[in-house]
């Protein structure tokens, strides 16, 4: 009976994925005559301003100005609109009561320079467009231009310079939420245009799959976000927003070539040469009537500074948008990734830090991943916006062990969301979603899993300068033979503008995270490390609190401070079973993470010279054993200096993290990772220089980057020396 019941649940879960498609098929499409608005945005000297966000508030319509400062928004229904123009370094301009009833409206705008810009528009925090200054949680934004300027070939590299974020190899920790568990689970949710981006077996984040040159910006929400995003967002959300499709034919080429320097010590120089790396991306975007598309292909190759750590990667990306009517559209996303690489797990010893142990020589892996997604948007009534999202994520992995580790997973997901404006004071966001995964693996067996969730959040703006955000979500998760688990995740947040210069924010909420397939069922041995399953593992919960202040004392200075505390119950962490020396995942009864963030930003010369620094203090404790949580540094500090003048760009970035207190000592004591307890504080400096030839009427940018300028040797994970000094040159060409 139990078997039949579980099978029925699986079939029901599969059917659940098709609910959004059914809703889409039966959604009424209202055809109407379309209108357009266009214009040009300039500064007081009549110089065009590119990259200005032009948004029709409380709608899905918007655009960004091109290199000539021009914009056009098409397929608009007639009506009365409020249009907002915003760009970093300029005061926001809002035009009320723009009546659109003619086929074409011309609206030209002049923006005034503003040294500090705190009102960027985000969509991740509440699943709809909100001003950053109105949010009740801490957020960060990475501009898409940073990826080429600093030669970030993947999103992981950029995340290392986000305040409050720490990376241990490819594992992200937002405010100390995670330690390290190789390729297994994450407490932060990665998404692309709102589509969750994690595998159906391990639940890991695959940073290198994101097509960085197609990203407009990355929004990071810190703290528990389970009330909106569910189980995978107990530690935060990272949402990659892709670029808008060009109204005109646009072809872009990006290429870079670089080399790693020689190692600091001659005895580490296993190859006797400077090891190269390179990358090429070609993309094209255009709009043909109601249909627009953006397609790109990326090839990345690295011979690596470490032996058996070379790789070849191919990333394909396709985004298409079709406008059925002025008020309804469908977007198709496809993201593919192929990788063949060496598998460097840990060093041989401290005298051979760039060479793996003899038994791990020639270890190789191959992986193929595919994500396909559909996003349907429609204004079905005045002030009601319908969003339907469906996606399919296939993941395949294989290594070359004598008995290969191999896994294929399929993850299906669907979500229906409605945003409704009630008068002008309340925005209500409600939705339901479901996922279903199937796994066929030598690592995890053949488990199935499904989750269902429903949420509602209301953001209320009062007549005095207070915004309240109230929400609740229910999730139910069933992982194969494990007992099903459900949780209610409420949240409350407040934003109060004490004065024009001072904004206070606070939030309190709970989070829920179910164990991944890998955490419950992994059974494998690789590199001398044997992992065993734990069928008794339970879901984890947390209680999250934050209080923050944003202060702009002068027009060129902005200060942001936040205090936070997270109480974890049954926190899932990897460890070694002392009875048999095998690695497994288990629940810590209690863990506590407290801390503060402080950041200051100086824009000394508007759009030319800026300086920022950020400090994070973490007190992350395993209350059950009275020790620090593993791989959480207590102190994190970032600083950045940027200078732009006469088409030149110069950037200097410094990063410091204190020596982590606790690591996987058992792997050292058992002799698996020799000299693995060697670790030091991290001090790294990066330098980037660029020149824009647009003044010479050539649409070309050239960048030079030096990473780890002083060739400082350090580890983030035991037995893994991080990247040594490298030099690279890159070029961007737009036609």
Residue with tokens 């995740």: 489
What stretches of 207-348 adopt beta strand conformation (E)? 215-222, 236-242, 250-260, 276-288, 291-302, 311-325, 328-342
- For the chain, list the domains and their CATH numbers: 33-108 (2.60.40.4130), 237-732 (2.40.170.20)
Which residue positions in the chain have pLDDT lower than 50? 1-13, 15-19, 21-32
**Helix, strand, or coil here: 616?**
strand
Q: What pLDDT is attached to residue 395?
A: 96
Q: What pLDDT is attached to residue 352?
A: 97
Name the strand (E) or helix (H) holding 613: strand 609-622
Phi, psi of 350 (to 5 degrees): -70, -15
**Helix, strand, or coil here: 720?**
strand
* DSSP letter (8 states) at residue 359: G
71 vs 67: CA distance, rounded Å: 10
Is 723 in contact with 682 (CB distance < 8 Å)? no
Q: What pLDDT is attached to residue 466?
A: 95
Is 513 in contact with 572 (CB distance < 8 Å)? yes
- Computed on alpha carbons and rounded to an integer, the radius of gyration of the chain in Å comes to 25
What is the maximum span of the chain, computed from C-alpha positions, in angstroms?
A: 78
Q: Which of 372, 363, 309, 432 is nearest to 17 (CA)?
A: 432
Provide the whole-model pTM. Answer: 0.85
Q: Which of 19, 5, 1 is nearest to 484 (CA)?
A: 5
38 vs 152: CA distance, rounded Å: 34
Is 470 in contact with 457 (CB distance < 8 Å)? yes
Is 134 in contact with 116 (CB distance < 8 Å)? no
Q: What pLDDT is attached to residue 153?
A: 86
Q: What pLDDT is attached to residue 132?
A: 85
Q: Please give the mean pLDDT across all residues of the chain.
A: 89
Q: What pLDDT is attached to residue 3?
A: 36
Tell me the CA end-to-end span of the chain in Å, nearest whole number: 64
Q: What pLDDT is attached to residue 171?
A: 93
Is 184 in contact with 204 (CB distance < 8 Å)? yes
Q: What pLDDT is attached to residue 231?
A: 83
Q: What pLDDT is attached to residue 230?
A: 85
Q: What pLDDT is attached to residue 13?
A: 46
As given in the structure block, the two tokens for residue 705 are 């980057």
As given in the structure block, the two tokens for residue 721 are 């020396």
127 vs 330: CA distance, rounded Å: 17
Name the strand (E) or helix (H) holding 201: none
């Amino acid at each position: 009976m139990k078997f039949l019941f579980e099978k029925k649940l699986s079939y029901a879960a599969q059917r659940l994925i098709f609910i959004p498609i059914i809703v889409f098929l039966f959604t009424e499409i209202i055809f109407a005559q379309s209108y357009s608005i266009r214009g040009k945005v300039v500064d007081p000297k009549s110089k065009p301003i590119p990259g200005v966000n032009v948004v029709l508030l409380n709608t899905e319509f918007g655009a960004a100005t091109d290199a000539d400062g021009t914009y056009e928004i098409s397929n608009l229904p007639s009506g009365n609109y409020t249009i907002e123009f915003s760009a970093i370094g300029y005061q926001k301009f809002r035009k009320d009561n723009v009546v659109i009833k003619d086929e074409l409206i011309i609206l030209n705008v002049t923006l005034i320079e503003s040294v500090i810009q705190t009102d960027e528009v985000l969509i991740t925090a509440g699943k709809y467009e909100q001003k950053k200054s109105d949010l009740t949680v801490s957020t960060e934004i990475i501009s898409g231009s940073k990826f080429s300027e600093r030669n970030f070939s993947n999103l992981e590299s950029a995340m290392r310079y986000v305040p409050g974020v720490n990376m241990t190899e490819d594992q992200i920790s937002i405010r100390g939420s995670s330690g390290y568990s190789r390729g297994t689970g994450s407490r932060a949710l990665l998404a692309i245009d709102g589509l969750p981006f994690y595998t159906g077996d391990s639940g890991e984040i695959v940073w290198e799959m994101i097509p960085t040159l197609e990203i407009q910006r990355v929004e990071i929400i810190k703290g528990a976000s389970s009330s909106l995003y569910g189980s995978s967002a107990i530690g935060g959300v990272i949402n990659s927003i892709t670029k808008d499709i060009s109204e005109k034919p646009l072809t872009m080429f990006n290429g870079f070539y670089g080399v790693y320097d020689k190692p600091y010590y001659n005895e580490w120089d296993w190859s006797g040469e400077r090891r190269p790396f390179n990358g090429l991306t070609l993309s094209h975007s255009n709009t043909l009537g109601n249909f627009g598309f953006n397609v790109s292909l990326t090839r990345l190759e690295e011979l690596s500074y470490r032996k058996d750590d070379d790789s070849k990667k191919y990333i394909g990306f396709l985004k298409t948008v079709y406008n059925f009517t002025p008020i309804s559209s469908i977007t198709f996303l496809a993201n593919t990734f192929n990788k063949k690489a060496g598998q460097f797990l840990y060093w041989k010893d401290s005298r051979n830090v760039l060479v793996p142990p003899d038994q791990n020589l020639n270890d190789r892996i191959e992986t193929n991943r595919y994500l396909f997604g559909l996003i349907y948007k429609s204004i079905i009534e005045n002030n009601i916006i319908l969003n339907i999202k469906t996606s399919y994520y296939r993941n395949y992995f294989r290594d070359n062990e004598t008995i290969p580790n191999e896994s294929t997973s399929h993850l299906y997901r669907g979500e229906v969301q409605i945003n409704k404006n009630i008068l002008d004071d309340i925005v209500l966001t409600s939705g339901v979603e479901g996922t279903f995964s199937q796994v066929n693996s030598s690592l995890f067996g053949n488990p199935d899993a499904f989750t269902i969730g429903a949420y509602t959040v209301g953001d209320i703006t009062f007549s005095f300068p207070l915004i309240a955000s109230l929400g609740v979500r229910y999730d139910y998760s069933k992982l194969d033979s494990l007992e099903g688990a459900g949780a209610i995740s409420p949240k409350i947040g407040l934003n109060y503008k004490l004065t024009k210069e001072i904004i206070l924010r606070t939030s309190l909420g709970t989070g829920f995270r179910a164990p991944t397939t890998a955490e419950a069922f992994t059974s494998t041995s690789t590199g001398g490390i044997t992992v065993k399953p734990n069928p008794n593992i339970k879901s984890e919960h947390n209680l999250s609190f934050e209080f923050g202040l944003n202060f702009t004392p002068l027009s060129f200075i902005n200060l942001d401070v936040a205090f936070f505390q997270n109480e974890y119950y049954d926190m899932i962490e990897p460890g070694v079973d002392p009875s048999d020396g095998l690695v497994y995942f288990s629940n810590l009864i209690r863990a506590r993470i407290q801390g503060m963030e402080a950041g200051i930003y100086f824009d000394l010369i508007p759009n030319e010279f800026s300086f920022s620094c950020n400090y994070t203090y973490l007190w992350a404790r395993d209350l059950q054993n009275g020790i620090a949580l593993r791989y959480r540094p207590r102190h994190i500090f970032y600083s950045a200096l940027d200078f732009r003048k006469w088409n030149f760009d110069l950037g200097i970035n410094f990063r410091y993290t204190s020596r982590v207190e606790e690591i996987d000592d058992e792997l050292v004591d058992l002799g698996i990772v020799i000299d693995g307890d060697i670790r030091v504080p991290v001090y790294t400096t990066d330098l980037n220089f660029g020149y824009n030839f647009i003044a010479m009427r050539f649409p070309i940018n050239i960048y030079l980057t030096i990473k780890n300028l002083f060739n400082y040797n350090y580890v983030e994970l035991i037995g893994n020396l991080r990247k040594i000094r490298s030099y690279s040159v890159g070029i961007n060409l737009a036609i």
